[in-house]
């Protein structure tokens, strides 16, 4: 009997691809396959042909047993054989797929946490089938010990809404396909009220040697800095974007609760990874602080979080040398040469002003750990 299910190829069998995406597509209607570059993970998935993804629900987990067709190496699969494609490989790695996708016509939803990526793919390939997706969830690339003992492939995600550009609506599934204006609103909220304080919480927790985000959030000083940064961005986006304050306040309260959720086991190494990218001039830290200043908001708590990112020192992270550069340069040289903000800019001046105060607070956080 011919398979009548819609075939979806998911690039990236990590937190989003393996943990969250299966909840969006009913197995009676869709057949999932993965592309994964990690040899060990790919082999384990193909040996099992199934795993469990656990979704947090109230104070416990809801289990979904995901049975998939195959997990491919990138060189052994023809994406033309699939009805739809999803990417969740990361904002740096996704550009290695440009040649792969240049002759693909099916809808491609990109869960890459960067709204600029689909337009870049459209421009480079000359094709219009690349769409931005926003999974409004925290997903972990691991699970608690009791679940990993059952199966090392088990993984954790939240129960949350997924948004995507309406041009991809033929993909279907449990996705809200929305207008460009609504995508912009949801992305502004996700980028500045979720991504910004989320990574700040990770960098602060890392100072204490914590493993998971919720562990750091138990520290009162860390909690207050994260909350303060969130409120700074709340005021900013309400002032600058067409965003209702009630929505922004609700979103902020929701985020603080999520960051402290012990069920999620959200690894600090996952959230904090690639600090140089997150410190980009238009990204969630430096870009957020610049935006705050343009709205007349003094980003004092944001600056503490930014300096915590400068101090991030994970030897397994490809950007681990950031702390070495910080210790090798004066603060003025670091801000100018590494962060690329100029002495005449308002953010440069205010960062220099709050630098010593921020360092003192961060040192106390480190001691408290």
Q: Yes or no: say if 289 and 230 are a contact pair by the CB < 8 Å rule.
A: no
Q: How far is CA 25 from CA 63, 141, 350, in A?
A: 15, 20, 47
DSSP for 269-283, written as a single string:
HHHH--HHHHTSTTS
Under the banding of pLDDT at 50, 70 and 90, the label for residue 2 is: low
The tokens for 69 are 């067709």
- Distance from C-alpha of 218 to C-alpha of 102, rounded to nearest angstrom: 47
Give pLDDT tens digits for 43-59: 999 999 999 999 998 88
The pLDDT of 75-83, averaged and rounded, is 96
With a cut of 90, say whether residue 316 has pLDDT above it: yes
Q: For the chain, give the mean pLDDT.
A: 95
- Distance from C-alpha of 30 to C-alpha of 350, rounded to nearest angstrom: 52
- Residue 242, pLDDT score: 84
- Residue 85, pLDDT score: 98
Under the banding of pLDDT at 50, 70 and 90, the label for residue 1 is: very low
Give me the domains of the chain, ranges plus CATH numbers.
Answer: 6-178 (3.40.50.720), 182-368 (1.10.1040.10)
The pLDDT of 344-365, averaged and rounded, is 97
Please tell me the number of Cα atoms within 13 Å of 190 on its side-chain side.
Answer: 22
The pLDDT of 235-240, averaged and rounded, is 95
- Residue 18, pLDDT score: 96
User: Residue 32: phi, psi to the nearest 5?
Assistant: -100, 145
- 12-21, 223-232, 249-258, 340-349: range with lowest mean pLDDT: 249-258
Percentage of the chain with pLDDT > 70? 99
With a cut of 90, say whether residue 208 has pLDDT above it: yes
Residue closest to 244 by CA, chosen among 183, 187, 302, 189: 189
pTM: predicted TM-score of the whole model, two decimal places: 0.91
With a cut of 50, say whether residue 81 has pLDDT above it: yes
Give pLDDT tens digits for 94-151: 999 999 999 999 999 999 999 999 999 999 999 999 999 999 999 888 888 899 999 9
């Amino acid at each position: 009997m011919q398979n009548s299910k819609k075939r979806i190829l998911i690039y990236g069998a990590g937190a989003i691809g393996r943990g969250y995406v299966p909840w969006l597509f009913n197995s009676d209607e869709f057949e999932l396959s993965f592309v994964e570059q990690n040899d060990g993970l790919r082999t384990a998935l193909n040996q099992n042909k199934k795993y469990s993804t656990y979704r947090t629900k109230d104070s416990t987990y809801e289990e979904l047993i995901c049975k998939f067709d195959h997990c491919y190496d990138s060189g052994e699969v023809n994406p033309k054989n699939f009805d739809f494609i999803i990417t969740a490989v990361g904002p740096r790695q996704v550009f290695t797929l440009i040649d792969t996708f240049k002759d693909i016509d099916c809808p491609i939803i990109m869960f890459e946490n960067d709204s600029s990526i689909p337009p870049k793919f459209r421009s480079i390939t000359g094709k219009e089938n690349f769409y931005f997706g926003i999974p409004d969830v925290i997903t972990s690339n691991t699970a608690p010990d009791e679940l990993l003992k059952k199966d090392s492939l088990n993984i954790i995600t939240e129960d949350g809404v997924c948004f995507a550009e309406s041009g991809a609506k033929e993909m279907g599934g449990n996705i809200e396909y929305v207008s460009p204006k609504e995508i912009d609103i949801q992305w502004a909220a996700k980028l500045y009220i979720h991504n910004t304080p989320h990574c700040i919480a990770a960098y602060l927790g890392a100072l204490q040697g914590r493993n998971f985000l919720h562990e750091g959030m138990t520290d009162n000083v860390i909690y207050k800095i994260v909350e303060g940064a969130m409120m700074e961005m709340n005021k900013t986006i309400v002032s600058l974007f067409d965003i209702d304050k009630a929505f922004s306040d609700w979103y902020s309260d929701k985020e603080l609760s999520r960051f402290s959720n012990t069920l999620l086991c959200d690894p600090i190494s996952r959230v904090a990874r690639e600090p140089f990218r997150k410190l980009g001039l238009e990204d969630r830290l430096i870009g957020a602080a610049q935006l705050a200043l343009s709205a007349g908001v003094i980003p004092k708590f944001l600056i503490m979080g930014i300096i915590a990112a400068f101090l991030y020192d994970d030897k397994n992270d490809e950007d681990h040398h950031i702390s070495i550069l910080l210790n090798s340069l004066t603060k003025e040289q670091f801000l100018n040469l590494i962060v690329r903000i100029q002495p005449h800019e308002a953010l440069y001046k205010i960062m220099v002003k709050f630098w010593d105060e921020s360092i003192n607070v961060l040192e106390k956080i480190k001691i408290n750990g």
